Amino acid sequence: MAEKMTLNQKIEKLDAEVEWFYSDEFKLEEAVDKYKAATKLAKEIEKDLSELKNEIEVLSEDFSK
């Protein structure tokens, strides 16, 4: 079973995937697959951030009462 990545790990992985496009390792043949993977990861990060925002808003509401 794969271990769930933390938000920080996802961001670091996305940074590494984006850096690949600027590296000497870049190959046009691999670019579409790498782009799709990076896009999927970016959507996961966006979802995680949205969930964190909602949780913070709920906690803030509880403390303001």
Q: Among all chains, which residue has been given the structure tokens 């996961």?
A: 44
The pLDDT assigned to 3 comes to 76
Q: Over the chain, what is the mean pLDDT? A: 91
Kindly report, residue by residue over 21-37, the tens digit of the pLDDT: 999 999 999 999 999 99
Number of alpha helices (DSSP H) and beta strands (DSSP E) in the chain: 2, 0
**pLDDT beneath 70, residues of the chain:** 1-2, 64-65
> What b/e sequence results for 21-30 when a residue is b if at least 16 CB atoms lie within 10 Å of its CB, and e otherwise?
eeeeeeeeee
Q: How many residues does the chain have?
A: 65
> What b/e sequence results for 54-65 when a residue is b if at least 16 CB atoms lie within 10 Å of its CB, and e otherwise?
eeeeeeeeeeee
Tell me if residue 4 falls in helix, strand or coil: coil
The pLDDT assigned to 58 comes to 86
The pLDDT assigned to 2 comes to 57
